[in-house]
Structure 1
Amino acid sequence: MLHALKELFESLLAPAGSQSPQEREHALQLATAVLLTEVMRVDGSSDAAQQAAIMAALRERFALPDDALAQLVQQARQAAQTANDYYHFTSSMNEQFTQAQKIEVVEAMWRVAYADAHLDANEISLIGKIANLLYVTQGEYIGAKMRAKEAAQLG
């Protein structure tokens, strides 16, 4: 278990050029999953609707089978518990994601936050912090939030 977690962190911290395409893709998948699970974790509750929103966002973004998604989310929870900051997750995204893909991540984070029909101040703060680390502009941030809110049918 610890060996697998160590390998995950090494894959996240390794320079992008030294990784195989599969390792880079997995590192991006893990980084995205960590950020989504952090939205669920930050308000102190683990709601079934939020878990479903995480799975739906990851399935949509990465087209992984259910067993691979479940494993990815489990790895993300472990990685999030031992992470000191979000920079090493967002830095790989900044290197390899387009601006549109980074906005999609922020929108997915908002969808997770809205999934339980209760927006917590810690969720808002976390998503704002991640959006800044991803260099998502204020306008892009607000647009992502409004699209997620509309998708949640909250007005």
Structure 2
Amino acid sequence: MLRTLKDLFDALLPPHGSTAPTDDEHALQLATAVLLVEVLRADARFGAAERRAVVAALKEKFALADDEVERLLELAEQAVRDASDYFRFTSRINEGFDMARKVRIIELMWRVAYADGRLSAHEQHVMWRIADLLHVPHGAYVHAKMRARDAMAGGGAGGGGG
């Protein structure tokens, strides 16, 4: 389903003409994965729990097979290394997702941040910055945080369910 790294990066660039819907969907998948990976990397001591939370979030959000999720994660990790900011990813999400879907991404990101049972100041800063770039209202941001915290306290998506 997913194609080469170049195809996905090309899909992130502003359209030159008409773009096929599958290219748009792949670009949204990659942009979402990049934001999840960025929260993962915000914790200096990230481990298996956070990675499982990212995998669970991508599976839930996009209904991808295991090999597709792994490929998407590889591409997202490369994109994070090469990116200088979040704008090209958040702008793609702003164009492609309505507010409810953007708030859901924020909630999934909070699940990644909470996956190890602690929340660092840097994770909170990254979350706030991305939510701001996605134009998520403060109330929706706080509610997404509370839902994620409650889900993780109840044994939610960090382990693969939920």
Which category of TM-score, normalised to the shorter sequence, fits these structures?
over 0.9
Q: Report if aligned partners of 2:8, 2:23 keep a CA contact under 8 Å in 1.
A: no
Could you tell me which residue of structure 2 aligns to residue 26 of structure 1?
26
Q: Report if aligned partners of 1:36, 1:112 keep a CA contact under 8 Å in 2.
A: yes
Aligned in 2, Cα 1:71/1:14: closer, same or farther, shift over 3 Å? same
Aligned in 2, Cα 1:33/1:71: closer, same or farther, shift over 3 Å? same
Comparing both structures, which one devotes a greater share of its residues to helix?
Answer: 1
Q: Report if aligned partners of 1:31, 1:90 keep a CA contact under 8 Å in 2.
A: yes
Could you tell me which residue of structure 1 aligns to residue 82 of structure 2?
82
Could you tell me which residue of structure 1 aligns to residue 106 of structure 2?
106
Could you tell me which residue of structure 2 aligns to residue 57 of structure 1?
57
Could you tell me which residue of structure 1 aligns to residue 142 of structure 2?
142
Alpha-carbon distance in structure 2 between the residues aligned to 1:8 and 1:26: 7
1:18 match: secondary structure:
coil
Alpha-carbon distance in structure 2 between the residues aligned to 1:96 and 1:125: 24
Alpha-carbon distance in structure 1 between the residues aligned to 2:16 and 2:117: 38
Counting matched residue pairs gives 151
Q: In the TM superposition, what whole-angstrom CA distance separates every residue of 1:2-37 from its partner, at most 9, and x where no partner exists?
A: xx4444322101328632111100000000000001
Aligned in 2, Cα 1:45/1:95: closer, same or farther, shift over 3 Å? same
Could you tell me which residue of structure 1 aligns to residue 9 of structure 2?
9
Could you tell me which residue of structure 1 aligns to residue 160 of structure 2?
none
2:126 match: secondary structure:
helix
Output the TM-score relative to the length of structure 2.
Answer: 0.89
Identity %: 52
Q: In the TM superposition, what whole-angstrom CA distance separates every residue of 1:78-120 from its partner, at most 9, and x where no partner exists?
A: 0000001101001111111010000000001100000001101
Alpha-carbon distance in structure 1 between the residues aligned to 2:37 and 2:128: 15
Could you tell me which residue of structure 2 aligns to residue 38 of structure 1?
38
Q: In the TM superposition, what whole-angstrom CA distance separates every residue of 1:57-89 from its partner, at most 9, and x where no partner exists?
A: 110110010000000001000000000110100
Q: Report if aligned partners of 1:16, 1:24 keep a CA contact under 8 Å in 2.
A: no
Equivalent residue letter for 1:100: A
5+ residue gaps, structure 2: 155-162
Q: Report if aligned partners of 2:114, 2:152 keep a CA contact under 8 Å in 1.
A: yes
Could you tell me which residue of structure 1 aligns to residue 95 of structure 2?
95
Could you tell me which residue of structure 2 aligns to residue 118 of structure 1?
118
Output the TM-score relative to the length of structure 1.
Answer: 0.92
Could you tell me which residue of structure 2 aligns to residue 152 of structure 1?
152
